[in-house]
Amino acid sequence: MALKATIFKADLQIADMDRHYYYDHHLTIACHPSETEERMMVRLLAFALQADEALCFGKGLSDEDEPDLWVKDYTGAIKLWIDVGLPDDKRVRKACNRSEKVLVLAYGGRQAELWWQQQQSVFERHDHLVVMYLPSEATEHLTQLCQRTMHLNCTIQDGQVWLGDDKQRSEATPQIWKSSRNDK
């Protein structure tokens, strides 16, 4: 019998001063049996960074045809495709062909840096691809916030992200390894 996903609930209050987005989200997050809490929390942070009323979690690890998060318009066209981790160039190319904008939120320390060195020249071809990196210290702190039921506050200002609950707070500054040509 296959293992089932573990369900997490998160009340996430977002104050994104960079985008002037202020909203409370009540999220249900399925953590795939092969997914770590670190990866799930990076998905949650990706949600906070790109928060929108239409942003939702995809099947991610359960279905290779879906991203970790996405925004679709009313016609079903994909406006935003978000993958976390270190996707291969084939997956990124496929995402870029299917979506108006693609964001990869990489993490994993030295392994992520090696991945970027190998993929950078290939990824430069994609005009609407953004690649961001979260340092290991940031993802370790995110993991400490993980609980089955979370009440989190997220503040984003000048590229810095603070995520926390009433007991502890994590700070992260995602590094932009590649920006979209459309954003310049």
Q: What's this model's pTM, rounded to 2 decimal places?
A: 0.93
Report residue 156 CA to chain centroid gap.
Answer: 14
What is the distance between the alpha carbons of residues 12 and 150, in angstroms, rounded to a whole number?
A: 8
CA distances to 27, 45, 142 from 38, rounded to whole Å, are 17, 10, 7
Extract the tokens encoding 38. 């670190």
pLDDT per position as a tens digit, 120-178: 999 999 999 999 999 999 999 999 999 999 999 999 999 999 999 999 999 999 999 99
pLDDT per position as a tens digit, 33-70: 889 999 999 999 999 999 999 999 987 656 677 899 99
All structural domains of the chain with their residue ranges = 6-183
Which residues lie closer than 8 Å to 122 by C-beta, 6 or more apart?
89, 92
Is domain 6-183 annotated with CATH 3.10.640.10?
yes
